[in-house]
Each structure stands twice: as C-alpha cells, then as structure tokens.
Structure 1
Amino acid sequence: MDQQLAVFVKVAEKQNFSRAAEELHMTQPAVSQYIQALERTMGTTLLERSNKYVRLNKAGEIVYHHAKEILGLYTRMNDLIDDLTNNASGPLSIGASYTFGEYVLPHLIAKMQKKYPLVSPKITIGNTKEIAELILAKQLDVGIVEGHYDNKRLLIEPFANDSMCVVASPQNRLAQTDGVVPIAELEKETWIVRENGSGTREAVDKMFKQYRIAPKKCLEFGSTQLIKEAVEAGLGISLLSDWAIHKELSLGTLHIIKAKDLVIKREFSTVLSSPFQTKALKVFLEIIRENQN
C-alpha cells in the first residue's frame, strides 16, 4: 500500500504518468498498474485523465492529502527504528519563520554539519502559520516559530527571547533627532509591516494595541528582506528583530528609532508534532539550546 501511495502522490504532483515514471525509475505501464490498484482499493477513480493532463478529482484530493501524511509517518517510523542502532544521520526537515530561518538558522546548520556531517537538513522558510500547518501535516520534523503560537495538537517549547526595534532610514526625520522621540511621533509615519500569519506582524499588531499607535498608513510586504530594502529607500519605518538588522546597522543603512517607554520582546519556540525524535532531530534541538545559553 505504501508503494501505491508513493506512486499516486508522484503522479498527482507531476500531473503526468510519463514524468512520474521517469522520476520513480519505473515504466509507465507499471505506474498505471499501481494507480489502478489503488483506485480498486479505494473503490473509486482518483484522477481525471486526458491526452493533455492528469488531475485529481475530489476523491483524489482527499487521498492525496492523507497519503502525504501517511508517507511522512512511515518515513519517520523507519528513521526512528534505524536510529536505535546508528549514529545521528539521515534526512532532517526543518521549517522556520523568516527572521529565524534567514538570519540565525544558517549558522546553526553550519555547526550541526561540522559536528554531524551525516545529517542531511532540508530547510523550508515560511511565516509562523505556514510552518505550524506543515508540522501538523507531518511534512516537517521540526518547526521554529516567532511570537505566541498555541495549538493543543503540537508540542511547543520556547527557547529564546528576541528584542525588536523600530528602524528607519538614516535620512528619516525621526533619525535626525537626538535622543528619545515621543511615541505619538511614530504614528505620523508610514509603517511597513509583514503579512497576517507572520510572527513579526503579530509583534507589530501587539505593539500598536499596547501603545495605542494608529499609523496614518501601512504597507504590507511579504518578507523581512523586502521590508529592510523599503525602509532603507525611505518608504517608511518598521519593527524588526535585532537578529535581522545587524548587518544594516554596521553599514549605517538603517537607524534605530528610540521611542519613549517602548520595549518590544517576543519568544521563539520549537514546534513538534510528536514526542518521538530521531537522533538527527535530537542533536539539532541540542544545538539550538546550546546556542541560546
């Protein structure tokens, strides 16, 4: 059954029997036989076929969704059994929100590779909501998310605090003032914020509410790097993690705006779907915790 599901998933993703057969190193008739066998087992057709395409029908969409989860669990089970007798090795799928994934995770991966070269990490970057959903779907071994996230189906463990700063272009009017600026001055600026579902956006919304800031205008951008470029260009101001702005501060392309009584901190947390861990996952979690001590 697992082979049938693997073949079905590949055909669904490639939308073509020939391309699926090529990637699976099988003949096209063999792929067709696996699909037909699975459809007999399910008692219904799963694919709409024509000379130009192969598409999932409604039943196929249901089977595809669950097949991905089943195959993920099957792979994880094999990895756990292999780990009983072997050193830390094999694949490790890591998901991280943008700030941690782009500015901290690469350094941790380098440390892990130096100490455990047989571990093969695969990195997925997304916002907090996207990473949590992939963990729930068993598509990732571990996730690292920003801010407050709560889900009773997940194992969530805070491991680090992150300070956040209001940043502007050095040419911004607020950057020209000496010392601390009144919070009221911040709402006169255009704010550049992340999309809903992002941990950084959560921190911004929480700050607006806590300090009663009502910006005259907000622009929504989909990545931290894009926001930094926009702020540097003088398009507006933003709230960003200390981790994300080290390079720009050293180069003098961003300036921290100190606002009176404004202190913003948030947590970073690891997210797991199961208490059972491969050795590869265990050593990665150890490296994360060591790095924060």
Structure 2
Amino acid sequence: MDQALEVFVTVVEKGNFTRAAEELLMTQPAVSQYIRALERSLGTRLLDRSNKYVRLNKAGEIVYHHAKEILGLYTRMNALVDDVMHRASGDLSIGSSYTFGEYLLPRMIASLRQQYPLIRPTITIGNTAEVAEMILRHEADVGIVEGDYQDERLHIEAFAEDEMVVVVPRGQRYDPWSEIPLAELQTETWILREQGSGTREATERMFAASGFHPRHVVEFGSTQLIKESVEAGLGVTLLSRFVVRKELQLGTLHMLKPNGRPVIRRFSLISQKTPYHTKAVEVFLELLRSRQGMF
C-alpha cells in the first residue's frame, strides 16, 4: 500500500497536520514530507493550507475520492487473503495441566507457530482444578486437563487418551518384571501428586478399582520432583508414559503395568460455553483435534 495515500486521507479527515501526525504516530515534518512527495508525483498541489485549516482543492477532491477507494480495496484484499490462507493472529492464552503442558504442549506450540507465526501463545501450567478455575475466571482462552473432569459451567471435550504406568527405581528387585499385582507394592512408599491433580485422581481411581490401600503415602506438588524421588529410591508412583519417556530410554526408571494392564485416562479440552472463539483459538482447537490418536 502507498503510505502517502494513507497519510493524505488522514490529513484531510483530521483537518490539520498536527492531529494527523498524532493519529499516525508520526512527527509533523514526516507527515508534511509525505504530502509534498504525493503532490510532486501528481504534479499539482492537493491542499489549500493556512495556519488554521487544511482544505481540499479540486485536484485534492479527486485524489481523496480515489484514495479512499484504493485504501478500501487494499483492506478488503487483505481480508480475503487472510480467509484463503486461514491466517490467524493475536494472543492465545492456554492453561494446561502438568502432564500435557510440560511434555506434549511444547511440540504442539512449535507446530502452531510454524503454521501461524502471528499467533502469540502464552502457557500457564497448573493442576486440573486450577486450570478449570482459570477458564471460569476468563484468565485463559482454552484449557487442557487430565481425567474425567466435570463442570456444567464449562464446555468439556475429550480429545486424546493417556496411558498411566507404575514407575519404580531401576536396579531394584522389580527389574525382571513388566507387570505386577498391586498387592506386591503394599509395603512401598507411594509418592502422589496433590489433591486436584489429574494424576492424583487416576492413582486413587486405580487404588479403588483394585481395593488397594497403600500403607505409606507422601505427597509432592511437582511431577519432576516425584520422578527424581523415585530415581533416588524413595518410593514408587503412577505416572503417564509421556512423563517418563526419557527416563525409560536412559534406563534410570522402570515401568510396570499394574495388575497386568495400564491405567487409561483422557485428556480433555475445556472452554467457555460459547460458539464464538477468536481465530487463534479456533486454529489451536483444530490442531489438537487433528492430532487425535497421535499422542
């Protein structure tokens, strides 16, 4: 777009160079320079100037009329190109529980930024209950939580499954095992996440389904701290396979299927109950849904 036309139209509509400069975030000499350059290119003066006013002359009226059309066409062209290219821009605030937010979301954000570089994402990590509160308070556009979260005030949509496994220290008596009855872990110290965490909910659901009651429990609010504690031999835990992927490859932790089968939970999207979202939110939701079955 010819910026001189935009400056010219602004000067005409604001009535003087000073107000036009303020509107365009320019200096007044810069505005004057654009007007002089436009007049030189057309070979005629376009404005009658005085200390009190700026008025269009006959040539200026013609240029102003067509400049408005040109600027309008340029704006419409950009809008149509944006639609064709599915371009999205602006802020995107995401709240996510620990497992997805720390171990899966970074790669998704990298993919999002490659496709939509004008989107500016921010991520806040919290447990499931904290993320839900962020959505309810309009502090985040979309949330990702673990487990079977329910709240009638929110739109909740399951979009992926997560396999949970018992994690034990490497180099212990459990090394030869790939499956284990929970009863064999009765005397172990169980290291659990705090109440409100989706991982804590999955663990307690596993205990209840098996009628299992651990004798010793400690509670930590950090998944990384739990992993370090298990590596140090403090106890055992239940975690997502995504969380311990690197440790399993390095051989610092060992995983077991409890009672011969994994514990399955779901990842869910949560948002306000409204059919209207920003384009940035829409493309992020589309990206998540398109990855179903790939996590």
| Structure 1 position 242, deviation (Å) | 1.1
| Structure 1 position 181, deviation (Å) | 2.9
SS at match of 2:186: helix
| Structure 1 position 277, deviation (Å) | 0.8
| Structure 1 position 85, deviation (Å) | 9.6
Give the alignment of 1:1-293 within 5 angstroms. Answer: 87-173=87-173, 175-273=174-272, 274-293=274-293
| Structure 1 position 84, deviation (Å) | 10
Change (3 A) 1:106 1:136: same
| Structure 1 position 281, deviation (Å) | 0.4
Give distance in 1, aligned partners of 2:145 and 2:160: 11
| Structure 1 position 261, deviation (Å) | 3.5
Write the deviation string for residues 151-199 of structure 1: whole angstroms up to 9, x where unpaired.
Answer: 11100000001010001111333x2344533321122211000000000
SS at match of 1:288: helix
Change (3 A) 1:106 1:172: same
Deviation beyond 4 Å, 4+ runs, structure 1: 83-86
Change (3 A) 1:179 1:111: closer
| Structure 1 position 114, deviation (Å) | 0.4
Give the structure with higher Rg (CA).
2
Change (3 A) 1:179 1:221: closer
Task: Give the alignment's TM-score, normalised by structure 1.
Answer: 0.69
Please report the RMSD computed on the Cα atoms of aligned residues, expressed in angstroms: 1.7
| Structure 1 position 223, deviation (Å) | 1.3
Deviates more, 1:86-95 or 1:132-141: 86-95
Change (3 A) 1:85 1:195: farther
SS at match of 1:292: coil
Q: Aligned residue pairs: how many?
A: 210
Deviates more, 1:260-269 or 1:161-170: 260-269
Letter of the 1:189 partner, please give it. E
SS at match of 1:184: helix
Q: For the Cα contact (< 8 Å) 2:92–2:280, is it kept in 1?
A: yes
Write the deviation string for residues 65-107 of structure 1: whole angstroms up to 9, x where unpaired.
Answer: xxxxxxxxxxxxxxxxxx9996300000000000000000000
SS at match of 1:192: strand
Write the deviation string for residues 209-258 of structure 1: whole angstroms up to 9, x where unpaired.
Answer: 11111111011000111111111111100000011111011000110123
Letter of the 1:113 partner, please give it. R
